């Protein structure tokens, strides 16, 4: 009988135009992220790659040589001004030529990036050995470890600048969770229960030989499954698409997580400061798995919260209003109140900033040392249980009263 309820909820889900509209909007958002990532890669290749630097410097040198000839042949300016302009232009040209020599050397070494990286490692070792300050030495040692991990795992230093499958996947997860997930889930699921609070629907439910608990649980299961497909499966399909077209990239790039912070006192005032050399490197595939787990946790607790509000309210309009006000209001208060930010580790609505949670930078933003992934996991689980329990109790009680 429960499978029949699930089937019925699926039929109702795909009968709604809203389902396909929101899914289409999410696909459009993913396409926009692909375009953004592709544009960033092109800009990197155009302005920052060794080849681009050589081309730009060569072009600028030619322009300045023409400019120098123009100054030398210009009879409209005084001899003193001409002399000054010529000296300045020649000095600039000399600087450009030196930059061109360095850029060509970088271009030659970029074809053998491992040799270049080994040289950087040797230079970094010298920096570590020559650094006497303890805190600075820890930071330099951390940088040395990063370079060594790139070499050990066969990952170029500029790997993150390319629109590969893994880079897009990471961007999609962190950007979607932070900007779209809460509102998107609200629009997708907000009226699933409250929309059916009409006499005809409730009378139909009451005459069915099935408990009200199973009816609500069937809705909850479909809400979770459909939301997971909408968000996470779509993200994975885009990851495969970008990976097939552009390459999947390196899954072994080192990623710094777990930064630690401490209170420091400056001029009698207390500030939070990063502990020198803190944090540790994990490989990108490990970061991806942890990010997916945090996104799934947020999805589950958010959907359960939506279920509770939708169950309590008899009006879809009221449900959507309450949910959107809760999301926007919490963000506004978060940005304005230091006290609220310190309490935010215990408010699940602020668990969408996945990258800050994993890296530890969320502590700096909130001022709370309690904002860790362990806290996020514990509060998410507890909130889910409470929200689901309240939803089942309210739904069962309301049916009995009718």
- 98-143 pLDDT, tens digit each: 777 777 776 665 557 788 888 889 988 988 888 888 888 888 899 9
Instruction: Decide which of 282 and 197 is more confident.
Output: 282
- 304-313 pLDDT, tens digit each: 999 999 888 8
The whole-angstrom separation of Cα 343 and Cα 6 is: 38
Q: What pLDDT was estimated at residue 208? A: 59
User: 113-130 and 79-110 are packed helices; what angle lies between their axes, rounded to 10 degrees?
Assistant: 110
Instruction: Decide which of 290 and 1 is more confident.
Output: 290
Percent of the chain scoring above 90 in pLDDT: 45
Across all residues in the chain, what is the average pLDDT?
A: 86
Q: What pLDDT was estimated at residue 147? A: 92
Q: What pLDDT was estimated at residue 210? A: 66
Number of other CB atoms surrounding residue 350 within 10 Å: 23
- 351-380 pLDDT, tens digit each: 999 999 999 999 999 989 999 999 999 999
Looking at the predicted structure, is the pLDDT value of residue 349 above 90? yes
- Are 277 and 142 in contact by the 8 Å Cβ rule? The answer is yes
146-155, 263-272, 281-290: segment of lowest average pLDDT: 263-272
Angle at 127 between CA 126 and CA 132, to 5 degrees: 115
- Are 216 and 391 in contact by the 8 Å Cβ rule? The answer is yes
- Find the mean pLDDT for residues 188-193: 81
- Which pair of structure tokens corresponds to residue 359? 């890296």
- 297-337 pLDDT, tens digit each: 999 999 999 999 988 887 788 888 999 999 999 999 999 99
CA distances from 165 to 194, 235, 243, 246 (A): 40, 11, 4, 7
| Cα atoms found within 13 Å of the Cα of residue 197, Cβ hemisphere only | 19
The sign of the torsion formed by the CA atoms of 254, 159, 98, 121 equals: positive
The whole-angstrom separation of Cα 175 and Cα 88 is: 47
Looking at the predicted structure, is the pLDDT value of residue 397 above 70? yes
Q: What pLDDT was estimated at residue 402? A: 41
- Return contacts of 363-369, CB within 8 angstroms, 24+ apart: 363/259, 363/261, 363/272, 364/261, 364/272, 364/274, 365/341, 366/341, 366/342, 367/272, 367/338, 367/341, 367/342, 368/341, 368/342, 368/343, 368/344, 369/261
Name the band, by pLDDT with cuts 50, 70 and 90, for residue 202: low
Q: What pLDDT was estimated at residue 313? A: 84
- Are 187 and 22 in contact by the 8 Å Cβ rule? The answer is yes
Q: Tokens 């950007």 identify what position?
A: 175
Looking at the predicted structure, is the pLDDT value of residue 152 above 90? yes
Extents of the domains making up the chain:
2-43+164-246+283-401, 50-111
78-87, 158-167, 278-287: segment of lowest average pLDDT: 78-87
Name the band, by pLDDT with cuts 50, 70 and 90, for residue 158: confident
- Find the mean pLDDT for residues 65-72: 85
End-to-end CA distance of the chain: 23
Looking at the predicted structure, is the pLDDT value of residue 280 above 80? yes
User: What DSSP string runs through 239-257?
Assistant: HHHHHHHH----S--EEEE
- Which pair of structure tokens corresponds to residue 313? 């309210």
- Are 318 and 194 in contact by the 8 Å Cβ rule? The answer is yes
């Amino acid at each position: 009988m429960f499978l029949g309820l699930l089937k019925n909820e699926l039929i109702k889900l795909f009968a709604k135009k809203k389902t396909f509209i929101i899914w289409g909007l999410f696909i459009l958002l993913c396409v926009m992220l692909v375009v953004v990532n592709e544009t960033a890669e092109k800009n990197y290749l155009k302005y920052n790659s060794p080849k681009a630097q050589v081309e730009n410097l060569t072009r600028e040198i030619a322009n300045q040589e023409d400019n120098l000839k123009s100054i030398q042949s210009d009879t409209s300016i005084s001899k003193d001004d001409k002399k000054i302009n010529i000296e300045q232009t020649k000095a600039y040209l000399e600087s450009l030529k030196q930059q061109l020599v360095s850029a060509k050397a970088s271009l030659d070494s970029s074809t053998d990036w491992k040799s270049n990286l080994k040289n950087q490692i040797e230079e970094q070792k010298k920096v570590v050995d020559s650094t006497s300050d303890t805190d600075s030495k820890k930071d330099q040692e951390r940088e040395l470890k990063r370079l060594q991990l790139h070499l050990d795992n066969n990952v170029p230093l500029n790997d993150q600048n390319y629109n590969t499958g893994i880079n897009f996947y990471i961007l999609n997860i962190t950007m979607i969770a932070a900007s779209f997930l809460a509102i998107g889930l609200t629009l997708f699921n907000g009226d699933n229960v409250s929309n059916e609070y009409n006499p005809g629907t409730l009378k139909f439910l009451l005459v069915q030989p099935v408990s009200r608990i199973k009816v609500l649980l069937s809705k909850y299961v479909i809400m979770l499954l459909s939301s997971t497909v909408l968000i996470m499966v779509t993200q994975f399909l885009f990851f495969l698409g970008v990976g097939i077209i552009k390459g999947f990239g390196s899954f072994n790039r080192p990623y710094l997580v777990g930064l630690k912070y401490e209170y420091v006192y400056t001029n009698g005032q207390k500030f939070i400061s990063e502990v020198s050399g803190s944090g540790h490197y994990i490989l990108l595939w490990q970061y991806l798995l942890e990010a997916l787990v945090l996104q799934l946790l947020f999805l589950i607790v958010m959907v359960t919260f939506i279920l509770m509000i939708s169950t309590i309210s008899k009006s879809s309009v009221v449900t959507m209003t309450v949910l959107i006000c809760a999301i926007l209001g919490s963000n506004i208060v978060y940005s304005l109140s230091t006290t609220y930010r310190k309490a935010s580790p215990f408010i699940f609505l602020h668990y969408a900033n996945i990258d800050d949670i994993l890296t530890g930078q969320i502590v700096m933003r909130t001022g709370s040392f309690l904002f860790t992934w362990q806290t996020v996991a514990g509060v998410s689980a507890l909130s889910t249980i409470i929200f689901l329990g309240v939803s089942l109790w309210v739904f069962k009680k309301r049916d009995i009263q009718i």
